[in-house]
Protein backbone atom coordinates (compact mmCIF):
# COMPACT_ATOMS: atom_id res chain seq x y z
CA UNK A 1 0.00 0.00 0.00
CA UNK A 2 1.40 3.41 -0.98
CA UNK A 3 1.38 6.43 1.32
CA UNK A 4 2.17 10.14 1.29
CA UNK A 5 2.84 12.19 4.40
CA UNK A 6 3.17 15.97 4.61
CA UNK A 7 5.93 16.73 7.09
CA UNK A 8 5.78 19.41 9.76
CA UNK A 9 8.72 21.38 11.15
CA UNK A 10 11.40 20.04 8.79
CA UNK A 11 13.12 21.13 5.60
CA UNK A 12 11.57 18.20 3.74
CA UNK A 13 7.94 18.75 2.81
CA UNK A 14 6.74 15.29 1.83
CA UNK A 15 7.56 11.62 2.44
CA UNK A 16 6.32 8.93 0.07
CA UNK A 17 6.69 5.23 0.84
CA UNK A 18 4.96 1.89 0.72
CA UNK A 19 4.31 -0.79 3.30
CA UNK A 20 4.00 -4.38 2.11
CA UNK A 21 3.55 -7.23 4.59
CA UNK A 22 4.56 -4.87 7.39
CA UNK A 23 7.84 -3.89 5.72
CA UNK A 24 8.85 -0.41 4.56
CA UNK A 25 9.81 0.16 0.92
CA UNK A 26 10.60 2.99 -1.49
CA UNK A 27 11.03 5.80 1.07
CA UNK A 28 11.51 9.11 -0.76
CA UNK A 29 11.75 12.52 0.90
CA UNK A 30 10.91 15.67 -1.07
CA UNK A 31 13.16 18.56 -0.01
CA UNK A 32 15.59 18.45 2.86
CA UNK A 33 19.18 17.21 2.83
CA UNK A 34 19.17 15.09 -0.31
CA UNK A 35 22.13 12.80 0.46
CA UNK A 36 21.22 12.22 4.09
CA UNK A 37 17.60 11.47 3.29
CA UNK A 38 18.53 9.07 0.49
CA UNK A 39 20.66 7.36 3.11
CA UNK A 40 17.73 7.14 5.54
CA UNK A 41 15.59 5.63 2.78
CA UNK A 42 18.27 3.08 1.92
CA UNK A 43 18.84 2.13 5.57
CA UNK A 44 15.16 1.46 6.28
CA UNK A 45 14.43 -0.37 2.99
CA UNK A 46 12.80 -3.73 3.78
CA UNK A 47 12.81 -3.10 7.54
CA UNK A 48 9.74 -3.85 9.65
CA UNK A 49 7.71 -0.64 10.05
CA UNK A 50 7.57 -1.04 13.84
CA UNK A 51 11.35 -1.30 14.02
CA UNK A 52 11.79 1.86 11.93
CA UNK A 53 9.41 3.67 14.28
CA UNK A 54 11.27 2.38 17.33
CA UNK A 55 14.60 3.57 15.95
CA UNK A 56 13.60 6.96 14.54
CA UNK A 57 10.80 8.30 16.75
CA UNK A 58 11.87 11.19 18.92
CA UNK A 59 15.14 12.02 17.14
CA UNK A 60 15.79 15.75 17.57
CA UNK A 61 18.19 18.24 16.03
CA UNK A 62 19.45 21.00 18.31
CA UNK A 63 16.54 23.19 19.34
CA UNK A 64 14.15 21.72 16.76
CA UNK A 65 11.39 19.55 18.17
CA UNK A 66 11.47 17.14 15.22
CA UNK A 67 13.64 15.86 12.37
CA UNK A 68 13.08 14.04 9.09
CA UNK A 69 13.64 10.62 10.74
CA UNK A 70 11.14 11.58 13.48
CA UNK A 71 8.67 12.65 10.78
CA UNK A 72 9.19 9.29 9.07
CA UNK A 73 8.21 7.58 12.33
CA UNK A 74 5.05 9.72 12.51
CA UNK A 75 4.27 8.93 8.86
CA UNK A 76 4.65 5.20 9.47
CA UNK A 77 2.49 5.32 12.59
CA UNK A 78 -0.25 7.09 10.64
CA UNK A 79 0.09 4.69 7.71
CA UNK A 80 -0.13 1.64 9.96
CA UNK A 81 -3.34 2.97 11.54
CA UNK A 82 -4.78 3.64 8.08
CA UNK A 83 -3.77 0.18 6.84
CA UNK A 84 -5.27 -1.44 9.95
CA UNK A 85 -8.54 0.44 9.43
CA UNK A 86 -8.61 -0.60 5.77
CA UNK A 87 -7.98 -4.25 6.69
CA UNK A 88 -10.82 -4.16 9.23
CA UNK A 89 -13.15 -2.48 6.72
CA UNK A 90 -12.33 -5.07 4.06
CA UNK A 91 -12.92 -7.89 6.53
CA UNK A 92 -16.29 -6.47 7.59
CA UNK A 93 -17.34 -6.06 3.95
CA UNK A 94 -16.21 -9.62 3.22
CA UNK A 95 -18.22 -11.00 6.15
CA UNK A 96 -21.24 -8.90 5.27
CA UNK A 97 -21.12 -10.20 1.71
CA UNK A 98 -21.18 -13.83 2.88
CA UNK A 99 -23.35 -13.55 5.97
CA UNK A 100 -26.81 -15.06 5.64
CA UNK A 101 -29.65 -12.52 5.71
CA UNK A 102 -31.19 -12.07 9.16
CA UNK A 103 -34.45 -13.87 9.81
CA UNK A 104 -37.49 -11.69 9.88
CA UNK A 105 -39.03 -11.29 13.31
CA UNK A 106 -42.33 -10.06 11.92
CA UNK A 107 -45.26 -12.42 12.31
CA UNK A 108 -47.52 -13.06 9.29
Report the pLDDT value the prediction gives residue 86, as an integer from 0 to 100: 66
Q: What is the chain's percent helix, strand, coil content, to nearest 5?
A: 45, 25, 30
Kindly write down the DSSP assignment for every residue of 53-64, as one continuous string: HHHHTT--BTTB
Percent of the chain predicted with pLDDT > 90: 70
Report the pLDDT value the prediction gives residue 87, as an integer from 0 to 100: 64
- C-alpha separations of 45 from 26, 53, 98, 105 in Å: 7, 13, 38, 56
Listing from the earlier edge strand, what are the strands of the sheet with 12-20? 2-6, 12-20, 23-31
The pTM score is: 0.79
Q: What is the pLDDT of residues 63-78, one digit of tens each?
A: 899 999 999 999 999 9
If you average pLDDT over every residue of the chain, what do you get? 88
- The residue extents of the domains of the chain are 2-97
Q: Is the pLDDT confidence value at 26 over 80? A: yes
Amino acid sequence: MNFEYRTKGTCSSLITFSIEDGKVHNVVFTGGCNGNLKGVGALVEGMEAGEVIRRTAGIRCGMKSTTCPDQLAKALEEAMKTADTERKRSWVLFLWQWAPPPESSATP
